Copies of this chain bind each other. A is one copy, B any other.
Amino acid sequence: MDKFEEKEIASKRIFDGRLLGLRVDTVIMPNGVQSTREIVEHPGAVAIVAITDDDELILVRQFRKPTGEVLLEVPAGVPHKGEKGEEAARRELEEETGYHAKKVVKAFSAYTTPGYSDELIHYFIATDMNLMKTNPDEDEFVEVDIIDLETCLDLVKEGKVKDNKTIVGIMIADQYLRGETGD
């Protein structure tokens, strides 16, 4: 596949923010034509597929400024400096939902938007959970919503889960629970 690679001949920094960076790379495409690539830099994230003993998913509803909408999502966030993925997954789950998971295992990682960003999201499956506190942190403006897997799958089909990582999370839960029940 080397024949498809692009050769970088210049890179211009545009922005260094609190969360994101932005640069414009100039590249030579395989046909010799010059082009530019606008690239968003992101530190990476964790998403937590939190499954209760009753095959329900622990989800959150939150307002997302870029979309102007309240969305139903799997808990997720950016790891703190020096924090490992699994630790970040446990912390985000607890901060956003009040649940502590005894068991957290990595599912896989995937890029959110590889056409223009380097953000890699790491999916973790959390099980064996205890509710530690009924009110999540004051600075987390989220509402917890616990929904059984079959309903989640229907919500995806109906277009009511409007966040890619959450759709992926529901698929992970489906594959995990089907594997568990052995079919």
Contact = CB atoms under 8 A, between A and B. Distances in A.
Interface residues of A, number: 72
Interface string A162-173: 111101100100
Main secondary structure of the interface of A (DSSP, over half): mixed
Interface string A46-90: 000000000000000111111101110100100000000000000
Interface string A9-41: 000001101111010110101110100111110
Interface of A: 1, 3-6, 8, 14-15, 17-20, 22, 24-25, 27, 29-31, 33, 36-40, 42, 61-67, 69-71, 73, 76, 107-121, 138-139, 141-143, 153, 156-159, 161-165, 167-168, 171, 175
